[in-house]
Amino acid sequence: MNIAKQSTTLEQVATDVLIVGVQKHREQMSNWSALPTAFGEQINEWVNNGEISSEAKAITKLPIAGKSVKHILFVGLGEGKSLTAEVLRNAFGLVGKQLKASKKTAYTIWLESFVTENLTEEEAAFLAGEGIGLGFYKVNHYKTTSNEADTYLEDVHFVGASSAEEVAANYEVGHIYAEATNEARTLVNTPPNLLTATDLADYAEALGKQYGFEVEILNKAQMEELGMGAILSVNKGSVQEPRMITLKYKATENWEDVVSFVGKGVTYDTGGYSLKPRDSMIGMKGDMGGAAAVLGAMKIIGETRPNKNVMAVIGSTDNMVSGEALKPDDVITTLSGKTVEVFNTDAEGRLVLADAVTYAKQQGAHYLIDVATLTGGVIVALGTDKTGALTNNEAFFEKFMEATMDTNEFVWRFPLTENDKKRIRNSEFADLNNSPGRDGHMIFGGGFIGEFAEDTPWIHLDIAGTSDASAVHDLGPKGGTGVMVRTLASFIEQLAEEE
């Protein structure tokens, strides 16, 4: 994408679309008349009489009988003094949808019109890059008819910016965040026969080569040699081999103070012998949403190069039924050496993550954040717009929450008590059981993973409700959301800035 780094005046604008913010009760731009159109002088009047809406997120498209500007998109911002980053990001998401629908790929943003006492032009530029990029996303399909060539955002210019180079840099970072989130969305939306554990590993390897990460992909034989009995037990029913994927971004000479993202990469989940109902299987192609989030965050890190050591570890397999498949009552031995009595083969994600977390620690993780579409219990508790969390370290969690404020990805912490831990450890035949009960389901699922994090500062993020959208929304279409991509990357950027 070409992002202009030089100043442009309104008189020099030549674009398909000019994007302009309209704030309530604001004295509108005195230089509307400078627009190279026949309508410049009339725009204030249209705003004042309500023909152009200033309501927050209202989009008014105005064709212009001019040679250099073909359309103007007016973006309602409501009261400027109360405009938040969340509202502006979503408004730009709607702009992205409009550009996609009209196949407009070149546009100019009148940045001055989006600046308020709460939002600087640099912040507005970042939110424009992020929001427009997210809104522009389209879900791929595999139909043999009505396939149209994809359109991509190509050129963006700015007018009314005091520092075009700095604005362009902020817009570019926002666009990087959007593109990485969109790639995660595409992974989640990909049919399971087209995205096996091997395919996911190939994607990760290509990402590593692109950004110079150290890459390690363990195959089944290597995992057996190391004793990864938990993920291998989940894989027993499958004809597809599992993979343990590791990417290392080394920002410093010494591999120290490492933050590790750990992703659940279950590419399809039937529930195993604890078989899901038919309707509950639909959508299980997205059970690798945690892995997608981790890979999306690593893409941003590869682009922005923060001064912080980061590792991604992904355990990937599917969970199928066969004569060899894992059964309730089985006892398995994990990579850590801890044994697990299996009460429920549909509680497979925590088994995959048990070995992935242990392996991350063996590879030098000092901090752990696991991301997983883990439980239906989190949806019962929080709905589909909130991510559930657990932690064993208050200070680490509070820092993470600062990043969620920046990205507006809502996270709610659940308690993990000693009584909860006792129930996870309640087994007649093993150290742990993988399903203590349906009450407190989310807590037990995440708490099981915590048994393998042990004393390493750890955050668990259950994105079962937030990884997939059941309907279109301001920032994208129905389907994978790419949730937590932006927050994970923002958190690393925050930690790097503190050092």
Query: Which of 43-47, 369-373, 469-473 shows the lowest per-residue confidence on average (mean pLDDT)?
Result: 43-47
What domains does the chain contain, in order, with CATH numbers?
2-142+150-181 (3.40.220.10), 190-498 (3.40.630.10)
With a pLDDT cut of 70, the percent of the chain lying above it is: 94
Q: Which residues pair with 469 in a beta bridge?
A: 479
pLDDT value at residue 140: 85
- Residues annotated as catalytic (active site), given as ranges: 276, 350
Q: Is 150 one of the annotated binding-site residues?
A: no
Q: Is 399 one of the annotated binding-site residues?
A: no
**What global pTM score does this model have?**
0.96
Q: Is 348 one of the annotated binding-site residues?
A: yes
Q: Is 269 one of the annotated binding-site residues?
A: yes
List phi, psi (to 5°) of 333: -115, 125
pLDDT value at residue 184: 98
**Residues 264-291: what's their mean pLDDT?**
97
Taking 90 as the threshold, does the pLDDT of residue 52 lie above it?
no
Query: Which of 32-41, 93-102, 112-121, 440-449 shows the lowest per-residue confidence on average (mean pLDDT)?
Result: 32-41
**Residues 412-429: what's their mean pLDDT?**
98
215 vs 107 pLDDT, higher one: 215
pLDDT tens-digit series, residues 283-298? 999 999 999 999 999 9
pLDDT value at residue 466: 98
Q: Is 327 one of the annotated binding-site residues?
A: no
